Amino acid sequence: MVTYAYTARDPVNGKKVSGEIQANSEQEVSKFVKDQDYALLEIHVKDSSGFTLFKTRIATKEKIIFSRQLSTLINAGLPLVQSLRSVLNQTRNKALQVVLSQVITDIEAGKTFSVALEKHPRVFNQVFTSLVAAGEASGTLDRALERLSNQQEKDAELIGKVRGAMIYPIIVLVVMVGVVSFMLVSVLPQVQELYNGIPGARLPLVTRMLLAVSNFIIGYWWVLASIGVVIAVFTTRWARTAGGKRFIDGLKLRMWPIGLLFTKMYMARFTRTASTLVATGVPLIQVLDITAETVDNIYLNDSIKYATEKVKGGKALSTALTGDPNFLELVPQMLKIGEDSGAIEQMLGKTADYFEKEVDNTIKSISTIIEPVLMVVLGIVAIVIVSAILLPIYGLVGQNVF
């Protein structure tokens, strides 16, 4: 059950009445309020702390579990609504409970499962709803959900590998910046104080340069912090604009050494999603429309839409993608084999398997490149910092100050 908060009006005195009730659906809340002779004004779901549950994130893993559980229950012969209620009672994610409650309410009101899911696009994307719709139409909803969970697992695993490859260099850079900042702010000023007490002593050039940076950081840290906040806010907002997203997506495809990694990841995502949709019986044009949105790159999106227009004009998909600079040559080649043999689904699946393995290999190659580069950068930074600290001390020893 989910906790619902409601607002109603007392028809006797016209005053508003608020309250909370645990129920399985909004219909139960509406019936309860009606039984109290109140006029219902508003219903929304709340958690134990009183905040709207839609702020709670629904992880991909939870959606995968939901798909598998629902597939198993439907395959066992349980009606859809009963299966959904069973999954609802098993899940512990409050936000998912809310969504499933509303989905059940819509189905009981006469809507199809796919239409009920379409009301929650932030939770169930177009791939999810299209596969469910195709499964409903063909009477194979359990198989569609099973394919969907497999596709989600593959996609999540792929994205996880790419993110994992980015974490190591980011952690190293953050630690390096932290150590350098500590040395500049805490250690170097002590060296300067040591020299200030010695008449005629002059700090080495590298130490004076770093001290200038240190004094600026200490004196104007608030300026740097303000600039950092402004840059972060501006960059975040700019990245959400069409121009910013196009620029970033272009970097993902072209910038060394991550360009090839992202290209292979997009190829794997496109072929895996297309394979799942084709296997479920989704028409090819709809497959291309869906993959264009789910590939999550403007340049790939444009290429797929351009290929879609060619397919509508009577060309084969392999021909439409041949020569496109944003697609690796293997994709149209494998599609051509699938079209000739009548096994597009299998060829797309094999292509997805290949590119997923290639993503692994590319990540290993990038790690092999990045690690020595980071070591060299760390070594240079360490030499500069150590020189700025030790050279003044050695200078004083040479002058027999100690």
Q: What percent of the chain has pLDDT over 70?
A: 90
Q: Which residue has the tokens 């001390």?
A: 393
- Any bridge partners for residue 22, and if so which? 3
Angstrom CA distances, 310 to 50, 304, 319, 348, stand at 52, 10, 9, 19
Which tens digits make up the pLDDT trace of 340-384?
A: 888 888 898 899 889 888 888 888 888 788 888 888 888 888 888
Same fold? 60-124, 151-402:
yes
Answer yes or no: is pLDDT of 397 > 50.
yes
91 sits in which H/E element: none
pLDDT of residue 171: 86
Give the range among 37-41, 117-121, 216-220, 307-311 with minimum mean pLDDT: 37-41
17 sits in which H/E element: strand 16-23
Buried b vs exposed e over 370-386: b needs ≥16 C-beta within 10 Å?
A: beeeeeeeeeeeeeebe
| Domains in the chain: boundaries | 2-55, 60-124, 151-402
CATH class assigned to 2-55? alpha beta
List alpha helices for 44-140, DSSP H.
60-75, 80-90, 94-108, 113-118, 126-138
CATH match for 151-402 among 1.20.81.30, 1.10.3260.10, 2.60.34.10, 3.30.565.10 = 1.20.81.30
| CATH architecture for segment(s) 60-124 | Up-down Bundle (1.20)
Which tens digits make up the pLDDT trace of 290-313?
A: 888 778 888 998 999 999 999 888
Query: What would the two tokens of residue 238 be?
Result: 């700019």
Q: pTM score, two decimals?
A: 0.69
